[in-house]
């Protein structure tokens, strides 16, 4: 048996040793597990998370009304329409992104348990956050990145993030696109005995709940009312899951809207496609797979379960995000990283269809730098044969072209049919459990997972399995 297969065969053993959660304790059946009990028993309360974060310079970031952008939205909207946009400026966190909130709790917990170091697998922003927190708490840190193709060509955004990670004193291990990253990650956890600071652990989600709560409380303080919607960039699901949970804990039941960059046609594990995209996160290559199969992550049960919480899901094009990134700088004097502006591009379009007394919160920004800047990204795309033009963004083809909007009104938000994602989620369950007869506990669990009724789940299962199928 070769080393790679040996490591993969011991995956659950390695992951259990590297994180202080007995995930199987929450298993209720072959299908269901008690998600809320897992969060309650293994995470931190939102009050505890706030105290920890404030002690390391994280959280309580500014909430800014985008007044110049709002004037533009008003000009583009019909009378009585044009919701106000507010931006939660998470670039003000230690390490420059909202992921500092996740890292603060995970690294604190590792220190509390006596681990000597921390490991995380990430394209970069979270890696910088973990490295910064480890520097604060005097722990060793290793960040594993997927960053180059078989020709040794690196994504500029990932290299910029690696620079930031190393600046905090952490070690960076860089891998090629494909399965190598997960094997290297498991091997390092096994050989070092370090803590797994997973993006998808209950600790990471608990840390981000403070962001959702702050978004609601900030808007209440500034306007005297609740936001109508919070728009969240969606990739692995942790950002959306935790922000929604935090808003609910603040007593707010506003609309939670997921937003991803549309990279249909590109395969995230493809060596050929790896450098034909301009976004390393916040895109459909992560957003769709993690929505329909959240447990594909580096923990046994992921605490990031976005389909439970999203009320709507919209897509924007790469060119639209680059455009709104430049607009944010030129209209508001805020130069922020393109990936963090995915939700802003979506919100800009959505605001024009909402009433002028409504409020949309864009719940995060991120720092920018040489490799993350949109000029570097567009230059990299052009050097890889991507056609750059101005016109109708709907004509953009991921991996072939990037179309910058000719006018602000050209920015649109394409709606995703959530029922199709729910059905894909159920197909995945049927694929993994082909011979299971779903019992009541399973149906309740699946209804929670899909944010639907038990009756809807039963009907969907019958349609997917065939007319003769029955549940008990």
Residues for the chain: how many in total? Answer: 472
Q: Measuring CA to CA, which residue among 138, 144, 190 is closest to residue 165?
A: 144
Mean pLDDT, 10 residues at a time, the chain of 472 residues: 84 89 92 95 94 96 98 98 98 94 97 97 89 97 93 89 94 91 93 96 96 98 98 96 98 98 92 91 94 92 97 98 97 91 98 98 93 91 95 97 97 98 96 90 96 96 73 54
Show the domain range for 345.
Answer: 58-95+204-415
Residue 429 lies in a domain: yes
Same domain, 349 and 208: yes
CB 98 within 8 A of CB 90: yes
Residue 69 lies in a domain: yes
Q: Which tokens go with 323?
A: 């455009």
CATH number at residue 243: 3.40.50.1100
Q: Is residue 155 part of a domain?
A: no
Contact between residue 235 and residue 290 where contact means Cβ atoms under 8 Å apart: yes
The tokens of 414 are what? 């394409």
Write down the pLDDT at residue 269. 84
Q: Are residues 227 and 348 in the same domain?
A: yes
Task: Tell me the H-state helices in 114-230.
Answer: 125-137, 156-167, 180-192, 202-223
The C-alpha atoms of residue 68 and residue 397 are separated, in whole angstroms, by 31
> Are 413 and 315 in contact, with CB atoms under 8 Å apart?
yes
pLDDT at 20: 83
- Kindly give the pairing relationship between strand 312-316 and strand 255-261: parallel
Contact 157, 127 (CB under 8 A): no
Are 303 and 263 members of one domain? yes
Judge whether 25 lies within some domain: no
409 assigned to some structural domain = yes
Residue 193 belongs to some domain of the structure: no
* Same-domain pairing of 224 and 236: yes
Question: Using CA atoms, how far apart are residues 312 and 346, in angstroms rounded to an integer?
Answer: 12
Tokens 């900030």 locate to: 218
- Domain count for the chain: 2
Q: What are phi and psi of 392, to 5 degrees?
A: -90, 115
Residues 423 and 391 in one domain: no
Identify the sign of the CA torsion 125, 126, 130, 136.
positive
Considering the domain architecture, whether residues 434 and 319 belong to the same structural domain is answered as: no
Domain boundary among 381, 400, 415: 415
Contact present, 310 and 234 (Cβ < 8 Å):
yes
- Cα 293 to Cα 11, 123, 126, 365, distances in angstroms: 18, 20, 21, 27
In a domain, 37, yes or no: no
51: in domain: no
Tokens for 340, please give them. Answer: 């963090």
Residue (of 274, 211, 283) closest to 248 by Cα position: 211
Give the residue from 382, 398, 415 where a domain finishes: 415
Enumerate the β-bridge partners of residue 142.
119, 171
What's the rounded Cα separation, in Å, for the pair 170 and 462?
Answer: 51
- Looking at the structure, do residues 279 and 239 belong to the same domain, yes or no? yes
Residues 6+ apart with CB under 8 A from 124: 143, 145, 157, 158, 160, 161, 162, 164, 165, 280
359 and 279 in a common domain: yes
User: What does the pLDDT read at residue 425?
Assistant: 97
Same domain? 224 vs 360? yes
Strands 359-362 and 229-233, bridge-based pairing: parallel
For 226, other C-beta atoms within 10 Å of its C-beta total 17
The CA distances from residue 183 to 188, 236, 456, in Å, are 9, 19, 39
Are 386 and 423 contained in the same domain?
no
Using the structure block, give the residue that is written with the tokens 């995380």: 120
Q: What is the DSSP code (8-state) at residue 308?
A: G
Clarify whether residues 222 and 360 are in a common domain. yes
Q: Which residues contact 365 (CB under 8 A, 6 or more apart)?
A: 87, 88, 89, 90, 91, 334, 336, 337, 340, 341, 344
Nearest partner of 310 among 207, 424, 457, 419, judged by Cα: 419
Give pTM, 2 decimals. 0.96
Return the residue matching tokens 């049919």: 417
CA of residue 363 relative to chain centroid, distance: 12
pLDDT at position 468, please? 45
Q: Do 289 and 326 sit in the same domain of this protein?
A: yes
Rounded Cα distance, 259 and 343, in Å: 5
CA angle 341, 344, 349 (to 5 degrees): 135
């Amino acid at each position: 048996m070769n080393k790679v297969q040996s490591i993969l065969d011991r995956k659950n053993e390695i992951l259990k040793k590297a994180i202080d959660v007995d995930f199987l304790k929450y298993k209720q059946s072959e299908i269901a597990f008690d998600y809320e009990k897992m969060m309650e028993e293994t995470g931190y309360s939102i009050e505890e998370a706030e105290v920890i974060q404030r002690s390391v310079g994280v959280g309580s970031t500014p909430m800014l009304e985008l007044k110049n952008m709002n004037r533009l939205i008003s000009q583009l909207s019909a009378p009585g329409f044009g919701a106000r946009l507010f931006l939660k400026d998470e670039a003000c966190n230690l390490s420059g992104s909202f992921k500092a909130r996740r890292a603060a709790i995970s690294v604190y917990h590792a220190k509390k348990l006596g681990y000597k170091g921390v490991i995380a697998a990430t394209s970069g922003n979270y890696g910088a956050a973990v490295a910064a927190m480890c520097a604060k708490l005097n722990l060793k840190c290793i960040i594993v990145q997927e960053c180059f193709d078989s020709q040794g060509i690196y994504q500029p955004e990932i290299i910029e993030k690696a620079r930031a990670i190393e600046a905090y004193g952490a070690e960076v291990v860089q891998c090629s696109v494909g399965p190598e990253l997960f094997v290297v990650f498991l091997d390092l956890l096994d050989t070092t005995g370090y803590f797994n600071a997973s993006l998808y652990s209950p600790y990471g989600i608990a840390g981000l709940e403070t962001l959702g709560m702050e978004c609601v409380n900030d808007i209440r303080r500034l306007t005297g009312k609740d936001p109508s919607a919070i728009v969240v960039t969606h990739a692995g699901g942790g950002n959306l899951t935790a922000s929604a949970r935090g808003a609910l804990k603040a007593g707010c039941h506003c609309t939670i809207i997921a937003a991803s960059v549309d990279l249909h046609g590109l395969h995230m594990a493809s060596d050929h496609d790896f450098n034909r995209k301009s976004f390393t996160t916040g895109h459909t290559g992560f957003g769709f797979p993690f929505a329909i199969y959240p447990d594909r992550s580096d923990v046994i049960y992921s605490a990031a379960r976005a389909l439970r919480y999203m009320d709507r899901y919209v897509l924007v094009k790469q060119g639209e995000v680059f455009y709104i990134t430049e607009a944010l700088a030129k209209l508001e004097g805020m130069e922020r990283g393109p990936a963090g502006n995915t939700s802003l591009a979506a919100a800009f379009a959505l605001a024009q269809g909402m009433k002028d007394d409504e409020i949309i919160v864009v719940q995060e920004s991120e720092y920018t730098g040489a490799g993350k800047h949109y000029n570097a990204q567009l230059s990299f795309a052009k050097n890889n044969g991507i056609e750059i033009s101005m016109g109708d963004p709907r004509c953009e083809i991921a991996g072939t072209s990037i179309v910058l909007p000719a006018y602000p009104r050209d920015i649109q938000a394409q709606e995703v049919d959530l029922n199709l994602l729910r059905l894909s989620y159920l197909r995945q369950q049927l694929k993994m459990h082909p011979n299971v007869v779903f019992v009541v506990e399973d149906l309740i669990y699946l209804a929670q997972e899909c944010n639907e009724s038990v009756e809807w789940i039963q009907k969907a299962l019958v349609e997917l399995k065939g007319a003769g199928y029955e549940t008990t």
